[in-house]
Amino acid sequence: MVDQPLMKNDEIVRLEKAEKLYQMGMQEVHALAGVTVSFRKGSFWAIMGPSGSGKSTMMNILGCLDRLTSGRYFLEGKDISSLDDDSLSELRLRHLGFIFQSFNLIPQLTVQRNIELPLYYLGWDSIRSAKRAEELAEEVGLGGRLHHRPTELSGGEMQRVAVARALANNPHVIFADEPTGNLDSATGEQILELLVRLNKQGKTIIMVTHEPDIARHAHNNLHMIDGVIDRIE
């Protein structure tokens, strides 16, 4: 199964002998040392492992933010291992959504403008964008906060804005990097419920976390250690 080059119809991402090398001073570090794995469409994965295990690198590769040193990466059946920077940007813009531990909202923009950001790069007009931003804010439970600045919001609210922004381009895959890391457990639980709900609506969710309590919400857990897959649960 591992060496099977053909994609199954319901596979959304697939790594084949993926390697990522970093030059750390004089030393070469294998952040990914030959990973072969595939995720099904509509699945909810939690990638776990201690720091330095390669889980963040895995996330960056899958999220098209970084490129493999060797090996191949298929996204929705297409080999994207050799795409250039602009094409990767285009992929992120059209098909992927991101949620980060530290929210990563732009502080000088209002909630509405933050949510509209992907739509701006997609070239949507302002009326359509505003309507979409309103719908999304409603969906994540942020109605009435559209004209606030991120700094006026609580952590949970900021992460809701980030989720709304990640959903703006109607992505196939949502990447969540420690989405609850900066939130208290009750608020974290709410964000997770939101992710579970999105997953039930058909979104593929790939989440990086080191907390087993959080990972419990995912269908599958992938444990990494020293750049290789330790075990899959």
Size of site (CB under 8 A) for another protein = 24
What is the number of other CB atoms lying within 10 angstroms of the CB of residue 220? 14
* Member of 14, 20, 92, 203 binding another protein (CB under 8 A): 92
CA distances from 64 to 13, 79, 85, 160, 175 (A): 11, 12, 9, 23, 11
Among 89, 182, 187, 190, binds another protein (CB under 8 A): 89
Contacting another protein within 155-184 (CB under 8 A)? 165, 169
CB of 66 to another protein, least distance (A): 6
Asked if 60 touches another protein (CB under 8 A), the answer is yes
Kindly tell me which of 100 and 148 has the beta carbon lying closer to another protein. 100
Nearer to another protein, 179 or 217 (CB): 179
Q: Rule CB under 8 A: say whether 124 interacts with another protein.
A: no
Q: Do 106 and 116 contact (CB within 8 A), yes or no?
A: no
Asked if 100 interacts with another protein (CB under 8 A), we say yes
Contact between 29 and another protein by CB under 8 A: the answer reads no
Which residue is listed with tokens 């974290």?
188
AA identity, residue 214: I
Which residues contact another protein (rule: CB under 8 A)?
Answer: 60, 63, 65-66, 85-86, 89-94, 96, 98, 100, 104-106, 117-118, 121-122, 165, 169
